[in-house]
Amino acid sequence: MKKLVTLTIAALMALSLAACGSTASSQTASSAAQSTASTASTADGAIASADDLTGKKIGVQTGTTGDIYAEDVEGATIERYSKGADAIMALTQGKIDAVIIDDQPAKVFEAQNDSIKVLGEPFTVEDYAMCISKDKADLTKSFNEAIAALKADGTLQSIIDYYIGEVEGSKPYESPADVSYTNGKLIMATNAAFPPYEYVENDTVCGLDADFAKAICDYLGYELQIDDMEFDSIITAVQSGKADFGAAGMSVTEDRLKSIDFTDSYCTGTQAIIVAK
């Protein structure tokens, strides 16, 4: 399964290269020189830590935590992309100086591209949680009960071991044989472009968040439906009732708390900095 994730990312990168080919060939000499200068600056080690991002061009995926925190970098120019793979492509083409993105997807991109590297120092540390409408306090309470129980019985750790720890003998979550969906169905909004948290395999959304959401729904007696969408549409979908909750490696921020509630944290992650070698 994990090998297929890698192949999926490689395919996305290849498609992005093909789509960008005509644009690259039409660049002016001035633009090409600027791109070369940007690439050279990064390759020379100008960005070795978060402190070196001052005044740089930073690529982020729209609406993500990286997007939010990049705004705090003094003098930086923020370039926003609908997909993390698009930001990585821009980095390899010298259009930006760095990318800020969740650490686990960052490792996948690094493994697929010899010209980039993830800095050892994280940009920020954050807690991941699931978002639920402020109008559904009872659902949030139920989710917190399920999260606590699944932490206590080792289910959550088993899922993390498989998708992140890569512990030998670990396997994806499987629903109990006696599970009953007497409470109906819950719809989860996600952006399936953040392996290993969520990704598409054989037309099905898989990953840590998908498995843990399934475990929560099994515990609470709900059938789970996962709807894939752009990341910056997730909170709106939950607020409007088109989805019951959102899960996409989403961190709790003061800005998001103004419009949405969050469950208790189920995983700790970091925002990583990717630069050209």
Give the residue ranges of the chain where pLDDT is below 70.
Answer: 1-45
Edge-to-edge strands, sheet with 204-206:
193-194, 198-201, 204-206
What pLDDT does residue 194 have?
87
CA nearest 267: which of 148, 130, 161, 127? 127
Domains of the chain: 2-10+29-125 (3.40.190.10), 127-269 (3.40.190.10)
Q: pTM of this prediction?
A: 0.70
Per-residue pLDDT tens digits for 65-122: 899 889 999 999 999 999 899 999 999 999 999 999 999 899 989 999 999 999 998 8
Whether residue 66 contacts residue 60, with contact meaning beta carbons closer than 8 Å, is answered with: yes
Full 3-state SS string of 179-235: CCCCCCEEEEEECCEECCCEEEECCEEECHHHHHHHHHHHHHCCEEEEEECCHHHHH
What pLDDT does residue 165 have?
82
What pLDDT does residue 41 have?
43
What pLDDT does residue 39 have?
41
What pLDDT does residue 23 have?
35
What pLDDT does residue 14 have?
39
What pLDDT does residue 231 have?
93
What pLDDT does residue 43 have?
44
What pLDDT does residue 32 have?
39
CA geometry: angle at 21 spanning 17 and 23, to 5°? Answer: 125
Enumerate long-range contacts of 135-139, CB under 8 Å, 24 or more apart.
Answer: 136/244, 136/261, 137/261, 139/244, 139/245
Give the number of other CB atoms < 10 A from CB of residue 216.
27
Full 3-state SS string of 68-125: HHHCCCCCCEEEEECCHHHHHHHHHCCCCCEEEEEHHHHHHHHHHCCCEEECCCCCEE
